[in-house]
Amino acid sequence: MFGRMNRRYDVVVVGGGPAGLAAALGALDSGVSRVLVVEREPEAGGILRQCIHAGFGLHHFREELTGPEYAERFVTQVMDRDIDVAPHSYVTGLAVDSSGHRLVRVLSERGGLATVECRSVVLAMGCRERTRGAVRIPGTRPAGIFTAGLAQKLLNLDGYLPGRRAVILGSGDIGLIMARRLTLEGCKVEGVFELMPYSNGLTRNVVQCLDDYGIPLHLSTTVTRIHGRDRIEAVTVAPVDETGRPDAARAWDVPCDTLLLSIGLIPENELSESLGIALDVVTGGPKVDSTLATSLPGVFACGNVLHVHDLVDFVTEEALRAGRFAGEHARQIRRPRDAIALVPGANVRYCLPHTLSADRPHTVYMRAKTRMSPCILRVGNLLERRLRFVVPAEMIHLTIQPELLERFYEDRLQIDLLPVDGGGVP
């Protein structure tokens, strides 16, 4: 029930975005009955609430939805199946009592600072945007510098334009979407500037959000200086060499009153860190086994808090699984311990989960370090797939069936992305 929060649950889900909502449903599917979703906003749905453009759900629902529509389908199911959702609520900490129950501390206006007891916890806090400080853009500190997501929230949820003449740094998907959105609202977008020689967003977004509107994408170019005392007045941009160093001789100034930053997302793991959960330095999220359990017993993770996804459909898939395993854990069902470490090899930035077992199918997610076309995906000496191309911006997923691991007796399985003509095929 929306707005209800009892003192005892089987599973508590931290975060009511797409990951949290699916995790709650997954938990219920596993046979538990008491599930709570803790959400800091007044409504569930997470970042999808401000993603008013279409294009969500092509994998999961086989149809094209807007962000709020995609979220609504899950909110409706959550409400129909009597899952409790506590809005305006925030998890401040987690402890374990002497009988092994998890104690979740929840802060809210209505409930004060409450303690909720449960057997399993699912972390689904999502991610946050990288800011100016993280990339150290030199210059002054005027008003008018926003992360793309904050600008999207101001525009789509609050009804305010961030400015009239914008420059966008970084070609992440939110930045591309905002380039189109601002243009439609009458704000002139001077261009999108990307440090890397390729876009960090999906190809489709580059075409549909920039090309279709005549907004230039400047690759291998970055903002080297911010100008303006009270409000931003201009930025200096410059091409960069292969090492990312700007060439000051070829720099030029772009007058603007707004700078949007779309320079990457970081899993939001302050709570995980405060609990002492082991994190992966590459993904920025928890280390998880094949049940998506973290290093803290009874605590699971899924969605963008685990690793940054580009498609919400995969968040949903991952979160349904995490919820099911969390529910099983609450019912004291135990799975065999994983015996195989999954290790990123050539041109693989990361792969998840960190370990596998040989008793059931596993979905593995991974990202390439650099573009490769065509490409061989090799899983140890068990499997090879030919891929037309891989790019860092698009996550790769793979299902490994148990038959494949039946006669695998090693403890380490490496995944490589190899060039086709580079001797990758034995």
Partner 1 sequence: MYDVAIIGGGVVGCAIARELSRYHLRTVLLERLAEVGFGTTKTNSGIIHAGQQTTPGTLKGLLEVRGNAMFDQLQRELGFGFRRCGELVVAASAEELASLERMKADGEAKGVPGLEMWDAQRLRREEPNLSLHLVGALFAPSAGVINPYEFAFALAECAVQNGVELRVEQEVESIALRDGGGFRIHATVPSGPGAVQAGLGAVKAGPGEDSVAGVDVEARFIINAAGVHADKVAALVGADDFIIRPRRGEEYLLDRRLEGIVTRLIFPVPTPASKGILIIPTFDGTLMVGPTAHDQDDRFDVPTTTEGSEEVFATVRRLCPSLDARATIAEFAGLRAVSDTGDFIIGPSRVPGFFHVAGIQSPGLTASPAIAVHVVELVGRAGLPLVEHDQFNPHVAPPARFATQSHEVRQALVEADPRFGRLVCRCELVTEAEVHQAVDHGARTLDGVKFRTRAGMGRCQGGFCTTRVMQILSRRLGVPFHEVTKRGAGSWLVIPMAEDREAAMTEAGGMSAGDTTAGAGEEAPCSDA
Angle between helices 67-80 and 18-29 (to 10 degrees): 30
Q: Closest by alpha carbon to 9, among 275, 237, 23?
A: 23
Dist. CA 254–CA 221, nearest whole Å: 13
Instruction: Report the DSSP beta bridge partners of residue 189.
Output: 166
CA distance 165 to 385: 46
Closest CB to partner 1 among residues 41, 335: 41
Would you say 279 or 339 has its CB closer to partner 1?
Answer: 279
Nearer to partner 1, 43 or 394 (CB): 394
Half-sphere exposure of 173 (CA within 13 A, CB side): 16
User: Cβ of residue 252: shortest distance to partner 1, in angstroms?
Assistant: 17
For residues 44 and 326, which CB has a smaller minimum distance to partner 1 in the complex?
44
Output the smallest distance, CB 32 to partner 1, in A: 28
Please report how close the Cβ of residue 51 comes to partner 1 at its closest, in angstroms: 6
How many residues in total does the chain contain? Answer: 426
- The conformation of residue 136, written as its DSSP 8-state character, comes to T
CB nearer partner 1, residue 293 or residue 364: 364
Hey, what amino acid is at 297? P
Number of Cβ atoms within 10 Å of the Cβ of 184: 9
Tally Cβ neighbours within 10 Å of residue 158. 8
Instruction: Return the number of the residue (114 or 331) whose C-beta is nearest partner 1.
Output: 114
Backbone angles phi, psi at 378, to 5 degrees: -120, 130
**Burial class of residue 71 in the structure, from the number of CB atoms within 10 Å of its CB (0-12 exposed, 13-18 middle, 19+ buried):** buried
Q: Which residue has the tokens 């993770």?
A: 301
Q: Which residue, 31 or 140, has its beta carbon nearer to partner 1?
A: 140
Report yes or no: 163 and 260 within 8 Å, Cβ to Cβ: no
Element (H, E) at 179: helix 173-184
Nearer to partner 1, 331 or 343 (CB): 343
CB of 173 to partner 1, least distance (A): 4
The Cα–Cα gap between 215 and 224 comes to 20
Whole-number minimum distance, CB 12 to partner 1, in Å? 17
Query: Which residue number, 1 or 134, has a Cβ lying nearer to partner 1?
Result: 134
Please enumerate in sequence order all residues whose Cβ is within 8 A of that of 426, keeping only pairs 6 or more positions apart, or say none: none
Token pair listed for 133:
């400080």
> Would you say 17 or 327 has its CB closer to partner 1?
17
Backbone angles phi, psi at 412, to 5 degrees: -145, 120
Q: Which helix H or strand E contains 323, and what residues bound it? A: helix 312-330
CB of 312 to partner 1, least distance (A): 5
Question: Minimum Å distance from CB 336 to partner 1?
Answer: 21
Smallest separation, CB 146 to partner 1 (Å): 8
What is d(CA 372, CA 342) in angstroms, rounded to the nearest whole number? 22
